[in-house]
Amino acid sequence: MAEQPPDTDALPVPVAVRPGEHACCRFARLADRRRVAVGLLRAGLDQRHRLLYLCDTGDAAGVGAALAAADPAIAAALARDQLGVRASAEVYAPDGDVDVEGVLGSILGERDRAIQDGNEGLTITGEIGDAFCAAGGAALEEYERRLDALQIDHASLLCQYDPAHFSPGQLARVGRCHDVDLAPELAGIGREGCLAAGRLPTGVLRVTGKLDFDSAPALEGALDAHEPGERRFDLDDVSYVDMAGMRALRGRTRQPLTITSASPTVRRFLELLAWDTDPLVTLAEIG
């Protein structure tokens, strides 16, 4: 039976992926991809999920040790076998070649076994590497399209891509096959450990965590470099914000922006700043 995660003083790493979503992480640095994976796994524990990490290296024990070192709750889950770490080839290419139908069946089977064992569902993250590189781009894109179309109940999924192994065009195409895309330009936003961001298929940027004096410069830098025009935000998962954080949304040149949703703490600042009367700010569906 599934167990409750132990109490720990360590705060979970924020991740801009909500329960039940199929997400893509395309950060160039392994440390950045692992940070997101730890955040997703910790969220899975909170949902009473079975956890599965598929690593592209043969050193599953070493990867498990790295994940455990990042978060005491993850270490406890690994010790009681609620987190499994396996070679990705066991799922993606057990017979040496990628069989998309077989991979999808394996993921569904893992989800079903997790529930049968008393968990509420499955949280799975896999490093997409050697097996799919050998299979070619068509197999990879078919896999991602079909996985997205399945919309698997009681499962959260994160596909990890090392941009060094895939062409920019291919990565852009697979990124669009996900509920949320953690694109390379967003990697620096999460390194201080209290904020994260991901891009939705609509082009809206979802911001998650604490948007404050410490985290605002990384967000502002990414926005100024990659969002030259109108900016669109989902701020519903922002748990804390201060004046520096709100100003970062507009940038140094006070870009026009649309806020599609906002948490109560963000709404209070919207009223304080009177952005509802600013002609360059659109507040969509915010009561």
Residue-level length of the chain: 287
H or E stretch at 180: strand 180-182
What is residue 136's predicted lDDT score, i.e. its pLDDT?
Answer: 66
**Predicted TM-score of the model (pTM):** 0.91
Same domain, 45 and 170: yes
Query: 34, 12, 69: which is closest to 208 by C-alpha?
Result: 12
Same domain, 48 and 163: yes
Query: What would the mean pLDDT of 265-275 be, rounded to a whole number?
Result: 92
Q: What is the CATH number of the domain that holds 154?
A: 3.40.50.300
Phi, psi of 27 (to 5 degrees): -70, 140
The total domain count for the chain is 2
Phi, psi of 247 (to 5 degrees): -65, -30
Virtual CA dihedral for 187, 188, 190, 196, nearest 10 degrees? Answer: -60
DSSP single-letter state for residue 40: H
What is the Cα–Cα distance from 30 to 139, expressed in whole angstroms? 24
Give yes or no for residue 285 having a pLDDT over 70. Answer: no
Query: What would the mean pLDDT of 252-264 be, rounded to a whole number?
Result: 89
Cβ-contact 235, 265 below 8 angstroms:
no
Give yes or no for residue 7 having a pLDDT over 60. Answer: no
C-alpha distances (whole Å) from 213 to each of 16, 209, 239, 253, 282 are 20, 13, 14, 18, 24
Mean pLDDT of the chain: 90
Query: What would the mean pLDDT of 160-182 be, rounded to a whole number?
Result: 91
Intra-chain end-to-end CA distance of the chain, in Å: 42
Please work out, in degrees rounded to the nearest 5, the angle formed at the alpha carbon of residue 124 by the alpha carbons of 122 and 129.
Answer: 160
- The 3-state DSSP class for residue 278 equals coil
* Host domain of residue 146: 22-182
Is 17 inside any structural domain?
no
Same domain, 84 and 215: no
Same domain, 139 and 248: no
